[in-house]
């Protein structure tokens, strides 16, 4: 399969999935369990994405580099109840400084 065909197929699948969201009957989404799952799903997906991006090493191996220290810095700033921009900039600053110093590749 060519790259163009893969992109077009993926785009069509995403569009179809989005379209299905509009045609789902409203009463299917009214249950308490469905509300809890749909409320927690974005948090779980974001946590999984952060975990994969933090620990993804070379060749699919688990590794720790400057990204790990950036996430740890973000956790400390979150614990100190810093604002969102401060957390993001702090994590980026820690990771960038470590990479510039050559301490974490």
Instruction: Encode pLDDT of 62-83 as tens digits.
Output: 878 888 999 999 999 999 999 9
Residue whose pair of structure tokens reads 């999935």 in the numeric block: 17
24 domain-assigned: yes
* Number of domain units in the chain: 1
List, for the chain, all residue ranges whose pLDDT scores fall below the cut of 50. Answer: none
12 domain-assigned: yes
16 domain-assigned: yes
Q: Supply the range of the domain harboring residue 7.
A: 1-30
With vertex at residue 100, the alpha carbon angle to CA 77 and CA 104, rounded to the nearest 5 degrees, is 70
Answer yes or no: pTM beyond 0.85: no
Torsions phi, psi for 74 (to 5 deg): -65, -40
96 domain-assigned: no
99 domain-assigned: no
64 domain-assigned: no
83 domain-assigned: no
């Amino acid at each position: 399969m060519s790259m163009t065909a893969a992109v077009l197929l993926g785009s069509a699948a995403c569009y179809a999935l989005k379209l299905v969201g509009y045609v789902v009957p409203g009463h299917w989404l009214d249950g308490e369990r469905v509300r809890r799952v749909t409320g927690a799903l974005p948090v779980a997906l974001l946590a999984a994405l952060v975990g994969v991006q933090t620990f993804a090493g070379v060749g699919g191996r688990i590794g720790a580099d400057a990204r790990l220290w950036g996430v740890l810095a973000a956790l400390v700033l979150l614990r100190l109840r810093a604002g969102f921009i401060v957390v993001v900039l702090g994590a980026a600053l820690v990771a960038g400084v470590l990479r510039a110093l050559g301490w974490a590749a």
